[in-house]
Amino acid sequence: MSMMRIVNSQPEPSILITKEEIAVAVRRVAAEVKRDYQGELPLLLGILKGSFMFMADLIRQLDFPLEVDFVRLSSYGSEKESSGKIKIVQGLHSGVKGREVLVIEDIVDTGLTVSFFMNYLRKKKPASLKLCALTNKPSRRQAPVAIDYLGFTVPNRFLVGYGLDFNERFRNLPDICVLEGEG
Ligand code: PRP
């Protein structure tokens, strides 16, 4: 029995995607982003909190001028289910009008969060608006979402690690893990 289980009586995360596999995917996605955005001074817009680690690794692979900003969105609902009612908790500091905007997400699950946010951004008239997601869980989709750059398609399991949480825990795990007994 692990210390984690003894101390917190929580299920044990088991690795689904290793940090090495994540690094390969981040390099591949970065190459695609670079091909499309080099010379454009894009605005990479991360949705907090989950995207912070992906953003940090992605931009270190992008050796050309770009800008970074974050918004914090939250959905009302239970701890594991989006309700579809999205609230902007911390808004944009950057102007979006006329910019090449690339939204960065850690996971597209029901799609409700990012679908809301893309519609919100579209009204601000960016020159272009695309979505880059590390993971996609298409089996759970409730709102249509076009993902332009994707790391992994993932199964319908409850995922934690590499920015993803369960009750704010496990974001610091370097691998993407399944939380056994959850989801
Ligand atoms: C997670 C994740 C996405 C969203 C995806 O965020 O980071 O933003 O859920 O779910 P959806 O496609 O079903 O809308 P969460 O609301 O858990 O906040 P967090 O990033 O701060 O953990």
3-state secondary structure of 106: strand
Q: Check residue 86 and give its pLDDT.
A: 86
Ligand 1 pocket test: which of 106, 110, 119, 150 has the largest number of ligand atoms within 8 Å of its C-beta? Answer: 106
Q: Ligand 1 centre and the CA of 113: distance in Å?
A: 7
Handedness of CA 70, 75, 76, 80 (dihedral sign): negative
Q: Check residue 2 and give its pLDDT.
A: 47
Q: Check residue 80 and give its pLDDT.
A: 57
Q: Check residue 6 and give its pLDDT.
A: 45
3-state secondary structure of 29: helix
Q: Check residue 180 and give its pLDDT.
A: 82
Please tell me the distance from the alpha carbon of residue 160 to that of residue 162, in angstroms, as a whole number.
7
Q: Whose CA is nearest to atom 13 of ligand 1?
A: 110
Tens place of pLDDT per residue across the chain (183 aa):
444 444 556 678 999 999 999 999 999 999 999 999 999 999 999 999 999 999 999 999 999 999 999 999 987 655 555 566 888 887 888 899 999 999 999 999 999 999 999 999 999 999 999 999 999 999 999 999 999 999 999 999 999 999 999 999 999 999 999 998 755
Q: Check residue 11 and give its pLDDT.
A: 77
Q: Tell me if 65 sits within 8 A of 38, measured CB to CB.
A: no
Which amino acid is residue 74, in one-letter code? S
The pTM assigned to this predicted structure is: 0.91
Q: Check residue 163 and give its pLDDT.
A: 98
**44-80 b/e (C-beta count within 10 Å ≥ 16 → b):** bbbbbbbbbbbbebbbeebeeebebebbebebeeeee
Ligand 1 neighbours, Cβ below 6 Å, are: 47-50, 74-75, 82, 105-113, 165
Q: Check residue 171 and give its pLDDT.
A: 97
| Catalytically annotated residue among 57, 63, 69, 109 | 109
Q: Check residue 157 and give its pLDDT.
A: 96
175 catalytic? Reply is: no
